[in-house]
Amino acid sequence: NEKELQDVVKQQEEKMFQLIDKSGEVARLKAEVSQLKRSLQHAETEARVLWEEMRGKEHQVDTAYVQERVILQREVDKLRLLLLEKKDENLQLTDKY
């Protein structure tokens, strides 16, 4: 009986370590997905700003102005993302406590 219990405990420990490994992998993948979403958002922002600047303009567009607009739009997007993250953190803390 003692040997069987030791085997069962050992199996449970192995399963627990597998779950820990999987949860770490899930967290890493979630972080990677989040980073990819941010990169996509930045690319979409840049494309949107460039499209707005180019639409209806046939003459030379001031590239410094366009770059400034892209940078400013990225900053706005970053601030929006930070705001959403803080709101999520606050909700999680509220739910936790």
**Lookup result for tokens 């399963």:** 15
Which tokens belong to 35? 């980073």
pLDDT tens track, the chain, 97 positions? 889 999 999 999 999 888 888 888 888 888 888 888 888 887 788 788 777 777 766 556 677 777 787 888 888 888 888 888 888 888 777 777 7
Q: What is the pTM of this model?
A: 0.47
Which tokens belong to 14? 């192995």
**Amino acid at residue number 11:** Q
**C-alpha span between 47 and 50 (Å, rounded):** 5
- Total residues belonging to the chain: 97
For residue 86, what are the CA distances in angstroms to 4, 18, 34, 40, 76?
A: 49, 32, 15, 21, 15
